[in-house]
Structure 1
Amino acid sequence: MTNVPSPPWRKQRRQIKPQLSQELIVETGLRIVDEEGIDALSMRRIAQELDTGPASLYAHVSNKEELIELIYDLAVGEIRLPETVGSWQEVLRAFATESHRVLTAHADLAKAALANIPTGPNALRIGEAVFGLLIGAGLPPRDAALALDRISLYISSDAYEESLHYARMRTSGIDDPVEYITGFIGQINAYYKSLPPDEFPNTTKYADVLTSDDGVTRFMYGLDLIIAGLEARMP
């Protein structure tokens, strides 16, 4: 019955647009970032998506910079903080891998964290939890503060690098990430092996080692190095 048209003499109802709000603007912005990347984001583009004028958006968001901060904090809200069971090393490792998973799921949004200090409610909640974890483990507050900053930067930069590879993959016309990475690493490997051995003895000899591990292994290796460094600074 839902497909039966209304009689022509009845007044046709216009489709009511959703009421404009900061929440709607931010959710629309995150969708654009997910589909096309952060460089495609603009107030005009969001206005087009919402069928309104750019000027109407400024009643809810002051500028593009604030919009990006709000979009970033919305995405960060998806991070599930691990339960505080087990060692602090295990909890920190679980937090880092979960944060990396969320950031890589949103195109190149990690770029927004590289030159900013996130101050949104979700980012503050996560920062408080990790900062408290490190202090509770016995790390002096100054070391805990510096560690929080370095860990956040490590996660964001690694996630952003991964997004760059996905962007290159899309422009290359290859749809399979495994196929793209295999071809990309294969080219690097062949190039290393073609270098003059007398000038680059280690690079040519260990070309297979230099190009063998995948992104997950490299991320976890770096994370383990950070955790080992924090362990060494514990009283």
Structure 2
Amino acid sequence: MTMTWPRGEERPVRRVLSQDLIVDTALSLLSEEGLDAVSMRRVAQALGTGAASLYAHVSNKDELRELMLDRLLGRVPLPEPEPDRWQEQIREIARKQLEVLTAYPGIARVAMETTGPTGPNALLLAEGVIAVLLGGGLSRIEAALSYELLSQWVAAFAMEAGATHTIEIRDEIERKGAQIRHYMRSRKASFPNLLGLDSLLESTSLIERYEFGLNVFLTGLPEHHQEPKGADAGSPPVTRTSPRSGGPATDSATTHCGDNGEGGQV
């Protein structure tokens, strides 16, 4: 008869570190506790390892933040350009982008602090938006400037929306708002237009404000459309298939890994 001896407590199996695993863990921390909670040390603790072991895969906290942003931007679907409905396609992309940036507290701040696209998903997003704009008849320089303006506005809107996600912050905003209203009411002659606007703004939802901005942006683009000049005039027409259909490039200015092996930023 073979006796089975009780075993001591088994050690948990340590997962093999990779950039994907590190980013996954960082996104979990971001979702649960916000951007300020994400550090190399906290991520290492969550993975049951030391912070030094992370540096073989991620250079520092700044790169980790860019990697998180890049991963999330990979979740923004990019359509095939349809010239007849290019404005609606831009709306769809911008709505999804706002959804992604507001779902993770603080990530919009990273988008605002990051200069230009730095990873594969960011580059693919820029490529996809510009392709839709070109399909709508904009020149190459107009499409580039429009993409830059749109991406900055979406990130700024998401950052402002995220700044009011706690009760404490909302209470502080209301307190300051009450002080400002009291000040203006005591000087009515100086503020005939501002008085009463706060109640009107409060009656509009976040989405209504966002849609208003999108409409102003999109309806204004055709009015600013000009015939291309100089080098732009001689540029060949740009066509593309969905940039993510064939998978992203493996190299970028900052090496990132995102959803389905991609990476990117606005």
Contact residue 108 and residue 156 of structure 2 kept, 8 A: yes
Q: Which residue of 1 aligns with 2:43?
A: 46
Equivalences for 1:13-52 in 2 at 5 Å?
13-52=10-49
Q: Which residue of 1 aligns with 2:141?
A: 142
Contact residue 189 and residue 208 of structure 1 kept, 8 A: no
Q: In the superposition, relative to structure 1, how do residues 205 and 163 fare at CA in structure 2: closer, same or farther (>3 Å)?
A: closer
Query: 5+ residue gaps in structure 2?
Result: 227-266
Q: How many residues align?
A: 219
1:194-216 C-alpha deviation (Å, 9 max, x unpaired): 34212212222544334432211
Aligned counterparts of 1:84 and 1:11: Cα–Cα separation in 2 = 61
Normalising by structure 1, what TM-score?
0.83
Match of 1:203 among 186, 191, 194: 194
Contact residue 81 and residue 131 of structure 2 kept, 8 A: no
Matched residue type, 1:90: E
Aligned counterparts of 1:195 and 1:156: Cα–Cα separation in 2 = 36
Q: Which residue of 2 aligns with 1:160?
A: 159
- TM superposition shift of 1:189: 7.0
Normalising by structure 2, what TM-score?
0.74
Contact residue 126 and residue 147 of structure 2 kept, 8 A: yes
Q: Percent of counterpart pairs with the same letter? A: 38
Matched residue type, 1:197: K
Aligned counterparts of 1:84 and 1:186: Cα–Cα separation in 2 = 47
- TM superposition shift of 1:149: 0.6
1:60-90 C-alpha deviation (Å, 9 max, x unpaired): 1111111111111111112123454551111
Match of 2:101 among 85, 92, 103: 103
Answer 1 or 2: which has greater helix percent: 1
Equivalences for 1:77-226 in 2 at 5 Å?
77-82=74-79, 84-85=81-82, 86-116=84-114, 117-166=116-165, 168-169=166-167, 171=168, 188=177, 191-192=180-181, 194-226=185-217
Contact residue 98 and residue 158 of structure 2 kept, 8 A: yes
1:178-205 C-alpha deviation (Å, 9 max, x unpaired): xx69x96698379537342122122225
Matched residue type, 1:69: E
- TM superposition shift of 1:120: 1.4
Aligned counterparts of 2:13 and 2:173: Cα–Cα separation in 1 = 49
Q: In the superposition, relative to structure 1, how do residues 33 and 140 fare at CA in structure 2: closer, same or farther (>3 Å)?
A: same
Aligned counterparts of 2:209 and 2:7: Cα–Cα separation in 1 = 65
Q: In the superposition, relative to structure 1, how do residues 45 and 190 fare at CA in structure 2: closer, same or farther (>3 Å)?
A: closer
Query: 5+ residue gaps in structure 1?
Result: 1-6, 173-179
Give the number of the structure with larger relative contact order, counting CA–CA contacts within 8 Å between residues 6 or more apart.
Answer: 2
Contact residue 192 and residue 203 of structure 1 kept, 8 A: no
Contact residue 189 and residue 211 of structure 1 kept, 8 A: no
| In the alignment, structure 1 residue 75 sits paired with structure 2 residue 64 | no
